[in-house]
Amino acid sequence: MNAPIDPIRLAVPSKGHLYEGVVELLKTAGYKVRRASDRQYEATIAGQPRFHVVFMRPTDIVIQVQEGRCHLGVTGMDVYAEHAFEAEDAAVVIPDLGYGGCRLVVAVPESWIDVGHIMDLVDLTTEFKAAGKSFRVSTKYPALVRQYFRKWGIYYYQLIHSDGALELHPSLGISDIIVDLTSSGTTLKDNRLREIGGGIVLDSAACLVGHAPSLASLAREGEAGELALLLDAIDGVKRSEGLLHLEVVGGPIEPGSPTADAAAAVASYLDERGAKHLVRGEVWDERGRPGWRLTALLATRKLNACQRVLFSLGASRIVGLPAQFVFEKDAPSTFNALRERLGVEP
């Protein structure tokens, strides 16, 4: 009788863009999450009985991974970095899953025309201290702010930790400046705030983290193990983002006709457009006349701009299909890198 295989617990944000992004990523990678309703906090993955999905807050995910109750978790890099000093057993597996991009920035009132760079806060906070006033900074990330301000030599300030909407704090007199997440900067501008030079505390995105001892155990299962298969699938999906698998067909080729060199011209043009992995082959039409066929990977946004040129060069048919996976023999492997980092022998 075979011994039961331990489940792999994957913690996922219960709602919001982090939830939507990882569910879509996993689905594309072949790991479809089955969740009966938004109120259900456990789920399964179709065809993957070993995986057990649990839903919780991004901050709780870091804690549960650190304590080993969850083997893997998806959270924001900002959340992980804020708690990294107390989460020594939580390791980053994939720092950027390809969505949820934002940055943690220092933002000041637009009316502060003399404050344009983070270094200006060194003098300003010193002036506040000399005048017997507290320079107040509202943020959800006190640990990251302390670390960043220390780097720039900023020591005289008071942190106001809040999980609410920080953009109103300066206008309400709660704080002088804020350190908060932004993606486009629109919300800051709408509330008469602006970023300052040198004020990017952290570039953040959705990331995959794991419990280091559990990762080592899973890595020992080898390249056919569940961890390797999951990470390989995610690698393939990420490598395919924004790419089309392009097929360009031309012909039939009549001996001595100008179209005889069309394949070379099309290949040269696609290469100039940044196409990758160009491969040329031969095809025959229904009457047995020879033609040519080129396949390549091309950025989706570039296809519409080049279709007429391709026809003028001799193409007779162009097909572009979204690439779901791209695997390359010599491409970096997340699993191999993780195994090496954990000191697990292949």
346 domain residue, yes or no:
no
Cis geometry, peptide bond prior to residue 213 (ω within 30 degrees of 0): no
Instruction: Say if CB 52 and CB 42 are below 8 A apart.
Output: yes
| Residue-wise pLDDT tens digits, 19-51 | 999 999 999 999 999 988 878 899 999 999 999
Per-residue tokens: 87: 């989460």
170 domain residue, yes or no:
yes
Final residue in a domain of this structure, among 181, 203, 225 = 203
Domain that holds residue 311: 243-322
Question: For position 223, what pLDDT does the model report?
Answer: 95
- For the beta sheet containing 243-250, the strands, ordered from the edge strand earlier in sequence to the opposite edge, are 276-284, 290-299, 243-250, 315-322
pTM, rounded to two decimals: 0.86
Q: Are residues 85 and 146 in the same domain?
A: no
Q: Are residues 131 and 218 in the same domain?
A: no
% of the chain surpassing 90 pLDDT: 82
Q: Are residues 195 and 318 in the same domain?
A: no
More confident residue, 2 or 341: 341
The total of structural domains in the chain comes to 3
* Alpha-helical segments (H) within the chain: 16-28, 58-66, 77-83, 120-130, 142-152, 169-172, 186-190, 212-219, 226-240, 262-272, 300-312, 334-341
CATH number at residue 248: 3.30.70.260
Q: Are residues 247 and 227 in the same domain?
A: no
Q: Are residues 337 and 235 in the same domain?
A: yes
Instruction: Say if CB 93 and CB 71 are below 8 A apart.
Output: no
State the pLDDT confidence band at 252, using cuts at 50, 70 and 90. confident
| Residue-wise pLDDT tens digits, 148-193 | 999 999 999 999 999 888 999 999 999 999 999 999 889 999 999 9
174 domain residue, yes or no:
yes
Q: Which long-range contacts (CB under 8 A, 24 or more apart) does 1-9 make?
A: 5/50, 7/50, 7/51, 7/52, 8/50, 8/51, 8/52, 8/71, 8/72, 8/218, 8/226, 8/227, 9/52, 9/53, 9/54, 9/69, 9/70, 9/71, 9/72
Q: Are residues 116 and 179 in the same domain?
A: yes
Region 299-323: what's the mean pLDDT?
A: 91
CATH number at residue 186: 3.40.190.10
Q: Are residues 279 and 219 in the same domain?
A: no
119 domain residue, yes or no:
yes
Q: Are residues 94 and 211 in the same domain?
A: yes
Q: Are residues 213 and 96 in the same domain?
A: yes
| Residue-wise pLDDT tens digits, 103-149 | 999 999 999 999 999 999 999 999 999 999 999 999 999 999 999 99
Whole-number Å distance between alpha carbons of 119 and 116: 8
166 domain residue, yes or no:
yes
1 domain residue, yes or no:
no
Question: For position 39, what pLDDT does the model report?
Answer: 82
| Residue-wise pLDDT tens digits, 78-103 | 999 999 887 788 999 999 999 999 99
191 domain residue, yes or no:
yes
Question: For position 253, what pLDDT does the model report?
Answer: 65
Q: Are residues 235 and 337 in the same domain?
A: yes
Q: Are residues 81 and 227 in the same domain?
A: yes
Q: Are residues 30 and 92 in the same domain?
A: yes
HEC states along 311-342? HHCCEEEEEEEECCCCCCCCCCCHHHHHHHHC
328 domain residue, yes or no:
no
Mean pLDDT across the chain, nearest whole number?
Answer: 92
